[in-house]
Amino acid sequence: MKPSAFAYHDPRSSDDLMALLARLDNAKLLAGGQSLMPMLNLRLVAPDHLIDIGVKGAGEGGTIPAAACVILAIEDALGPNAPLITMHPVSPENILEWLKTIKA
């Protein structure tokens, strides 16, 4: 089975990523794709937008797992008043809520 249609986005900066997350509904972050791609193919998830954040899978000895890299990148992008992110997975909705909290 093939995934349902979606728009692919490849942001070039954290600002571009944050703008996409603020603007798009029903978006999923692609960070390696080892679990998301099979779920797309089986149509267990059907996002309208797929945002590639350019994180490749890790897990080999001496590397930081991809999820930790993504969470640290989100914290960095949110700036010095960012909350400490202690959850996984992180959804676009979570990021939007944190952005609202920071701007308040």
Q: In sequence order, what DSSP letters do the residues of 13-55 get, joined into one string?
A: SHHHHHHHHHH-SSEEEESS-TTHHHHHHTTS---SEEEE--P
7-103: what CATH class?
alpha beta
pLDDT at 82 over 50: yes
pLDDT at 57 over 80: no
pLDDT at 24: 92
Kindly tell me the number of DSSP H helices and DSSP E strands found in the chain. Answer: 4, 3
Ranges of each domain in the chain: 7-103
pLDDT at 56: 52
Question: Per the confidence metrics, is the pTM higher than 0.95?
Answer: no
pLDDT at 17 over 90: no
Residue 55's pLDDT band (cuts 50, 70, 90): low
